[in-house]
Structures are given as structure tokens and as C-alpha cells.
A and B are shown apart, each in its own frame.
Chain A
Amino acid sequence: MMFRTPTRRLVLGGGLATAAATLWHPRAALAQQAATLQLSWLHSVQFGGSYIALQNGYWRDAGLDVSLLQGGPNAPVEPPVVAGTALIGISAADYTAAAVTQGAPFRIIGVAMQKNPFAIASLPGNPVNAPADLVGKRIGMALANMPVLEALCAINGVDVAGIEVVPTQYDAAPLVQGQVDCLLCWATDLPVAMEIQGVESVTMLLADHGYAVHSQTYIATEDSLANRRAELVALMAGEARGWAEYQADPAAAAQLTVEMFPDAGLDLPTQLLQAERQLPLMFSDLTAAEGFGWFTDATVAANVETLALLGKPVTPDLWDRSILEEVHG
């Protein structure tokens, strides 16, 4: 039997080799994979769970260096995701469906808002409590959202011709000024703004009247799903942990948001109220049982049905649960 006696040369050589290896891959063990999450709007507690994940290092621990890109009025989510600038984008099922019709290779890999946040806001003196109340009213909305109103009317058997549509900018002023009787908006922004300004309002959530469209959905390209799975799983796992903490203490999330973005002009009372208002939209019996972001064949089927009414026919293949299954598995 021949043993290689440890000679000086061998030790030296081994040492040099090790040193060379560490020089060559100086931080192989610590290497952080860069990944970008494209948010759908300006920073606010709307993305509170992501801020918690970032702050607590959930992504860093998984070897992911995540940057959060905020959106804006002229910053659509789809282009950076298609271009590969962002790994994951936060969109909504109807926008994603439209983009897919135009040839974008997207899949929905998670659903943050189980209930769609679209609502009709009105003033208590002339309230809209049910879709039937819309008839004879002037509704202020962006014309781009016309399919939303049409779908709501179709689902509830209301004649859309009986509603006067007034194209407005996205703010509550036209309602307060009496230019319109109600607004199509998110339940979590304009009604919150009005309440903070001392204007009482009535909101009717479209999701409570059959409008089933997943919102704040996580989208990724088919290419990323095939080639960057580990990063997708790590990113979504961080999201799930962050949002679980958000659910436990939304007030802390609002506080964190205000502190994290001192230049955003956020104020704590608004963020606190918004954080509270979006809780019931994001967390349900389904997420309690299966985990954050979950969707089932049944919820997907309901979405497919509503999207068809919106003129955006899609198949259930648009949704891909494999990433979530790894995250929660």
C-alpha cells in the first residue's frame, strides 16, 4: 500500500490551490444573485410585505439581492418584465391577460389580492350600495376601465346604457366637487384619501358582486419559469414570509413603509388606514389554509369567466402554481 506522505510541496501546493480558488471565487459562498421586483405603483403600504422581507433580510439569507422598482403613471409593469429588467412584476389578471393576447409570454405565479380592490365610491347622501343603484348616475372613471363597468353590469343584469360615464383623472376631487355621483376606484386609495380629508364615503366592492379578477398578481415570463426557478422560488418565499408578518401586524408595516421611504411624502395616518383596508382583500380562508398568494382551480375558473366578459379570453394555463407549491410545500 502506498500512502502519499504529506510532503512540504504537497502542502504548499494544496495551500496555493486553495488560495487560488478563493481568489478566483472570492465570495462564491456569499454571492448574491441580483433580482428585481417591479412594483405596480408608487411606494406605499400597498407593498408592505415586500418591505418587511427586504428589511428583515429574508431574501438576503436566501442568496438573493432584491431591488424593488416602484411604478408610476407612465411606468407600466409589463415592458420591464418582458425585457428581463425585472424578474417578477406585480400586475393584475386583466392587464396580464391583455398583454398575453398581445404576445407577451407571461404566467401568473401568485395572487396577492384574492379579492379585486375595484370599488364604486359614492357620497352618503346619494349612495351606490348595489350595482342596480348605478342606473341614472354619473360615474367618474378612466375610459380605459370601461370594460370593468361593462362586466359588472353584465354579471348583475344592469343596463350599462343607463349609466352616464364621465372620463376623469384618477382622484377624488370630481366626486367631492359634485361633477360626478360616484367613482370607479380602488377601495384602498381614494376612499382612504377622502376619509383622511374628513369626507365620509360609501364604497361598494365589485368583488362582492361577482367581479372575480385576481389583483396584485405576481407575473414572470415562461423563460424565467424554465431557467430561473430557484430565484423565483426564493423571491416568492420571501414575499410569503413578509406578508405573513404584515398580516400579524399591519400597523408595524405602515410604520416601516413611512420610515423606509422618507422622500415619498407618505403620512402615517393614511398608511395605517390603507394597511387595514387591504387586509380583507389579501387574506382569506384559502390563504389561511394553503398559504399566501394561493389560488385554486375554482378561483382560476371564476377569473377565466370574468375575463371573458371583459373581452380578454384566457385559458387556465395562464396561471402556474408550481412556484407556490415549492414555496409552501
Chain B
Amino acid sequence: MPAAPLFGRRLTRGLWVLLILLCWEGLARLSASAFVIAAPSQILHYSATHADLLWRAFLTTLWAAARGFFWGNLAGVTLALVAVLLPRSERLLSTLALLVFCLPLVATGPILRVLYGPGDGPQVTLAALAVYYTTFLPVLVGLRAVPQGWRDLVRSYGRGGLTLLREVRLPAALPYAVAGLQIAAPAAFLGAMVGEFTGAERGLGVLTVRAMRALDLPATWSIAVIAAGASVAAFSTIGALGRRLDLAPPEVLLAAPVARARNRWEGPAHAALATLAVLMLWQGTMDAFGLPPFFAKRPGDVWDYLVTDAAARARLWDALAETLSMAVPGYLCGLAAGAGLAMLLVLAPRLSAATLPLAIALRSVPIVATAPLIVWALGRGGAGTVTVVAMMIFFPTLVACRHGLARTPRAVLDVFAVYAASPLRRLLGAQLAAMLPAFFASARMAIPAAILAVTTAEWLATGRGIGALMATVASTSDYNMLWSAITLIGLAAVLAHALVFALERWVLARTNPEQLIR
């Protein structure tokens, strides 16, 4: 009778959910006068009485998010393909992709609104911008997860890069693409919601702003629950689709160590080329769209401003130092927590049913809605900011690392099974190495995510650092300072990226040489 234990397990799970809901309800009722948590019953009541409104808003946001999801992922995959087919362009492409991903909403919001006028153009664009980078990196890793033998085989038949791409690389990239798409689902929804802050007429983001100002907790929490629910649903659907597609078991990826015969001038030459390309793209786009220099500052304006104004330079440096002192610990904590939990879930798989939805929920609710809760719990000091940063990084890292772990070659696992190795032994000996490329991809993805999180937390809660500076100067039309801050943030991101990249090459050269073959 297999039905009975299954039924029993469901019952236990149901009881757990009920218990959690009861605790939530009790906590909310006890802290009602503080206006922090809405009780499940209040959320249910609000959703039922405003079902019409919420449904319309949800459809609006979902439609923008879906289109952003499509375009963003298309862009991410295209970039990865170009980077693999034209390996020389990779450094330049990843630098440009990173910089565009780092552009903060305070700067892009007004520009997109002026470019698109009324309508949902900015929401779709911001949703696309929120996802392309987190698809680009995992897909790139996947396209490289190819055994040396297969490359040699294709070459021995006299075929070129395109055949290799079609027959070997694309199938290898599929599971990684699924990880990218899973990370993208909540990000696209969040991007569309935040995009509505730029003056959209309707949608869940608009309702969030209104509900928070009105101190309407049931409304805020209903929207958060809907956003989280939609993201969890998209996440699981993509995961299920991925499991159907991912038929080939992971291969043993053998590759010869890469000979390090790099030109001493290659690094600086790349950097110079990337800088030039960024400056031309920046100036060119603004000129092409005829954006008024009042709010769309060109590279020359920023240069003049920073060179002539010593006080501004000092202000900017202080703010950046303050921001980095929060971002770096948060970044490290988030990475450690994400990778740590992914490994823990390998050792104790039954935990994943409880932790994954929570992790997705944390990622899909706008920081503006979660920040008050964190501030209430942890205060306005450094702890709150570090937590916000760690929280934003934790989820993509967890997802990417789980997918990496799942790519452990079957043959290797069989060897461990034959010797009856303990799960811990198996994790450290076999699975960890399979996880490393994905881990480093998420370490790179996490750089702009950390910047976004820290600047938002600074703007909303601590009022210090470069995030608060950008919010302040944007409200007083000091667009010179705003664009200078953006430039500095971009530089910091590129430097951090270079650092992680170097570390990645150093580690992967020892563990996963197939990733380094160009």
C-alpha cells in the first residue's frame, strides 16, 4: 500500500504549513500596533475584496514582465553565442554587459520615460535589463562545458565552430540555460514592477507605492504574496520543462591543462579598447536620441565636473568608501550562504521543499517592500544593509550552484557509490568541482546585484553612501553628480569583476580546464 505513507507525508506537510500560518497570524496580531506584518487572514480578506483590481494589475505587470523576459533572455543568449564564436570579443562584451547592468534606476528611469513616452516601454526594458546578464553568464559557462575529446572529434572531421556549436555546445548549454531562465523569472517580474515607478499608469508596482504610503499593510502584503507566487510558479514551470529537456546525463569533462602563453600587453590593450567602446557607446546613444544634456550627461560633462570640482570629488570618494564597506561583507555573506545552502541541500535533499520557495519569495518582492521589515528587525545600522545585500545575492547563487552540483558526471558518482562513500565525502570529492564554474558565474553575476542592493538600502534606510547620494542629487536635478556617481560605480564593478575573473581562472585552471579553452 504505497498510498498510505504518501498520504501520511502530505498530512504532515499540511500540518506544518498550518502551524506556520498560525504562528504568522499570531505574530501579526501581537504586533498590529507597529504596522510591520499583515496577518494571513487580513491578506486573504484584502485579496478577496480587491480581487478585480489585483487581477488587472497582475496581468499588466505580468505582460510587461513576460515581454522583458523574452527580449532579455534573447539578448543574453545572443551575447553568449557571440562570445563563444568570436572569443576575442568576450572581454569587451562582458564588460559592456556588466556596465549596462549596473545602470541605476534613478538614471535610467527618466531617460526611458522620455524616450518611450507614456505606455509600458520602460517597464519592458527594465525587465529585460534585469535578466539578460544573469542569462548571459550561465549560458556562456554551459557553452564551454564541453569535453576536449568531442572538440577534437568535430575538428578531425574537418568541421568548424558552427558544427561544434550545433552538435556539442548547444546541448551542453541547455541545462545551464535552464538555470539562467529560472533566475530570470523572478528578476523579470521585479524589473517590471520597479519599472512602473517611472510613471506607469497601472500595475502591481504602482499599487505597492500607493499601499506603502497609505500604511495599508494588507494591501502591501497581498501584492508581495502575488509577486512571490507568480515567481515561484514561473520558477517551477521552467524547472519542470528543463527536467524534460535535460535527457543527456552529465559527461565527464576531460580537458588538457591550458598552456599559459599570454601576451603581457593583452590585458591593458583589452582594458583600453573596452573603455573606448564604452565612452563611444555612451556619447553615441545619447546623441542619437537627442537627449537634452540637462539630464543626460555625456562623458565630457562628467570629466569636466570631476576635474574642476574638488569638493564634489571628495564627496563622491567618501560615499563610495562607505558603500563598499557595506557591499563587500554583504557580497561575501550572500555568496557563502547561497553556495553553502546549495551544498547542504545536496546532503539533506528533503529540506529543499521548504527553503526554495522562501528563497524565491525573498528575491521577487521589491526591496522597497521588504526593506522596512528588515530595518524593523535589524535596525538602520550596518547589519540591515549587509543583510539586504546578502539576501539579493543569495538566491541566484543558490540556484546556479544547485544546477552546477547536478552536473556532476554520473560515472564519477557511480565510483563513489561503489566505494560506499559518505554523502559528505561525495560532495567534497566529486560534486564540489562540478559546482565551481557555476559558482564563479554567480560570483560574477552577484557583483552588479550587490551594487543594486546596497544602493537601494542606502537610499531607503541608512541615508548614507553612494545610494543616498544618487537619490539626493537626482531630486535636486544635479545630474552631473549623478552621472559621476554612476561612472564611479561602473568602474568599481569592472574592477571587482576583473578580480573575480582572475581568481576564477586561477581556480578553474586547476579544477575545470574545459572552461578556459578559447
Binary per-residue interface labels of chain A (170-214) against chain B in the complex, 1 for a CB within 8 Å, 0 otherwise? 111100111100000000011001101101000000000000000
Residues in A whose Cβ lies below 8 Å from that of B201: 43, 70, 261, 263-264
Asked whether any CB of chain A lies closer than 8 Å to the CB of B206, the reply is yes
A75 and B198 within 8 A (CB) = yes
State which of B8-16, B136-144, B209-217 sits at the interface with chain A. Answer: B209-217
Given the interface pairs A74-B105, A263-B57, the reply to whether A171 lies near B478 with Cβ below 8 Å is: no
Asked whether any CB of chain B lies closer than 8 Å to the CB of A6, the reply is no
* CB proximity of B427 to chain A, nearest CB, Å: 42
Asked whether any CB of chain B lies closer than 8 Å to the CB of A2, the reply is no
Asked whether any CB of chain B lies closer than 8 Å to the CB of A144, the reply is yes
Choose among A72, A78, A102 the residue that contacts B200 (Cβ–Cβ < 8 A).
Answer: A72
Chain B contact patch, size range: 35 or more
Within 8 A of B (CB), among A245-262: 261-262
Given the interface pairs A176-B35, A190-B213, the reply to whether A82 lies near B198 with Cβ below 8 Å is: no
Q: How far is the CA of A79 from the CA of B109 in the complex (A)?
A: 10
Choose among A82, A85, A168, A199 the residue that contacts B294 (Cβ–Cβ < 8 A).
Answer: A82
Given the interface pairs A76-B474, A95-B475, the reply to whether A264 lies near B210 with Cβ below 8 Å is: yes
Residues in B whose Cβ lies below 8 Å from that of A261: 201
Closest to A91 in B: B477
Asked whether any CB of chain A lies closer than 8 Å to the CB of B53, the reply is yes
Closest to A170 in B: B213
Question: Main SS of the interface on chain B?
Answer: helix
Q: How far is the CA of A173 from the CA of B35 in the complex (A)?
A: 6
State which of B406-414, B418-426, B430-438, B457-465 sits at the interface with chain A. Answer: B457-465
Given the interface pairs A82-B295, A143-B472, A177-B376, the reply to whether A72 lies near B479 with Cβ below 8 Å is: no
B110 and A76 within 8 A (CB) = yes
Asked whether any CB of chain B lies closer than 8 Å to the CB of A154, the reply is no
Chain A contact patch, size range: 35 or more
Residues in B whose Cβ lies below 8 Å from that of A157: none
Residues in B whose Cβ lies below 8 Å from that of A172: 35, 215
Closest to B481 in A: A102
Asked whether any CB of chain B lies closer than 8 Å to the CB of A278, the reply is no
Choose among B198, B202, B460 the residue that contacts A169 (Cβ–Cβ < 8 A).
Answer: B460
Q: How far is the CA of A199 from the CA of B35 in the complex (A)?
A: 11
Residues in A whose Cβ lies below 8 Å from that of B50: 265
State which of B84-92, B111-119, B229-237, B349-357 sits at the interface with chain A. Answer: B111-119
A71 and B294 within 8 A (CB) = no
A75 and B199 within 8 A (CB) = yes
Tell me how many residue pairs across A and B have CB atoms closer than 8 Å: 169
Q: How far is the CA of A99 from the CA of B110 in the complex (A)?
A: 14
Residues in A whose Cβ lies below 8 Å from that of B368: 73, 169
Within 8 A of A (CB), among B312-332: none
Choose among B110, B371, B461, B477 the residue that contacts A98 (Cβ–Cβ < 8 A).
Answer: B477
Asked whether any CB of chain B lies closer than 8 Å to the CB of A329, the reply is no
Closest to B109 in A: A74
B211 and A265 within 8 A (CB) = yes
Within 8 A of B (CB), among A12-55: 42-43
B106 and A74 within 8 A (CB) = yes
Residues in B whose Cβ lies below 8 Å from that of A309: none
Q: How far is the CA of A70 from the CA of B56 in the complex (A)?
A: 19
Q: How far is the CA of A103 from the CA of B478 in the complex (A)?
A: 10
Residues in A whose Cβ lies below 8 Å from that of B294: 78-79, 82, 99, 102-104
* CB proximity of A168 to chain B, nearest CB, Å: 8
Given the interface pairs A98-B476, A265-B211, the reply to whether A75 lies near B109 with Cβ below 8 Å is: yes
Asked whether any CB of chain B lies closer than 8 Å to the CB of A161, the reply is no
B477 and A95 within 8 A (CB) = yes
B214 and A69 within 8 A (CB) = no
Asked whether any CB of chain A lies closer than 8 Å to the CB of B300, the reply is no
Asked whether any CB of chain B lies closer than 8 Å to the CB of A83, the reply is yes
Asked whether any CB of chain A lies closer than 8 Å to the CB of B63, the reply is no
Residues in B whose Cβ lies below 8 Å from that of A178: 34
Q: How far is the CA of A55 from the CA of B242 in the complex (A)?
A: 52
B53 and A82 within 8 A (CB) = no
Asked whether any CB of chain A lies closer than 8 Å to the CB of B177, the reply is no
A80 and B113 within 8 A (CB) = yes
Q: How far is the CA of A34 from the CA of B430 in the complex (A)?
A: 67
Contact sample, A vs B, 14 pairs, CB 8 Å cutoff = A74-B106, A79-B292, A80-B113, A82-B292, A95-B477, A98-B477, A166-B380, A167-B462, A171-B212, A171-B215, A177-B35, A178-B34, A263-B202, A265-B207
User: Which residues does B use to contact A, with CB under 8 Å?
Assistant: 33-36, 50, 53, 56-57, 60, 105-106, 109-111, 113-114, 117-118, 194, 196-202, 206-207, 209-216, 219, 291-292, 294-295, 368, 371-372, 375-376, 380, 460-464, 468, 471-472, 474-480
Closest 5 CB pairs of A and B: A167-B463, A75-B199, A74-B109, A263-B202, A99-B477
> In the complex, given contacts A167-B380, A173-B372, A264-B210, what are 15 additional A-B residue pairs having Cβ atoms less than 8 angstroms apart?
A69-B199, A70-B201, A74-B105, A76-B477, A102-B479, A143-B468, A143-B472, A169-B368, A171-B372, A172-B215, A173-B376, A193-B214, A193-B215, A261-B201, A263-B201
